[in-house]
Amino acid sequence: DTGVSQDPRHKITKRGQNVTFRCDPISEHNRLYWYRQTLGQGPEFLTYFQNEAQLEKSRLLSDRFSAERPKGSFSTLEIQRTEQGDSAMYLCASSLEGFNQPQHFGDGTRLSIL
């Protein structure tokens, strides 16, 4: 059983650099979600896709953040001009379509800004 896969697991970069994370969802799942989790807090929703369409974005997702899912399979999350406050764990999840479908999470990408 292949779960949600995220790459890289850790990313350390200097302030001002751009970073890109990748998420591969469970293959039959057409919904994909991005969350951000800071230390000691629960995950906060950033955005979600149904197939290749980005259907909802949180106001947490500033204009430095962009997410894509070009072919409705894997997704990328890019952060431009990183800031100290971007340091967090970025979690990807996927689910089947439907209101009560559980979301399955990957192990996350931990971003540290120097």
Partner 1 sequence: GNSVTQMEGPVTLSEEAFLTINCTYTATGYPSLFWYVQYPGEGLQLLLKATKADDKGSNKGFEATYRKETTSFHLEKGSVQVSDSAVYFCALGPTGSSASKIIFGSGTRLSIRP
Contact between 102 and partner 1 per CB under 8 A: yes
C-alpha to C-alpha distance for 17 and 15, rounded to whole angstroms:
6
Please give the distance of CA 3 from its chain centroid, rounded to a whole number: 15
Which positions from 3 to 22 touch partner 1 by CB under 8 A, shown as an x/- string? -x-x----------------
Residue 43: how many other CB atoms lie within 10 Å: 19
Q: Which of 11-19, 62-70, 72-80, 92-100 is the region at the interface with partner 1 (rule: CB under 8 A)?
A: 92-100
Structure tokens at 41: 């807090």
Alpha-carbon gap, residue 19 to 10, rounded angstroms: 11
25 near partner 1, rule: CB under 8 A: no
Q: Which residues bind partner 1 (CB under 8 A)?
A: 4, 6, 31, 33, 40-45, 48, 55-56, 58, 91, 93, 99-100, 102-108
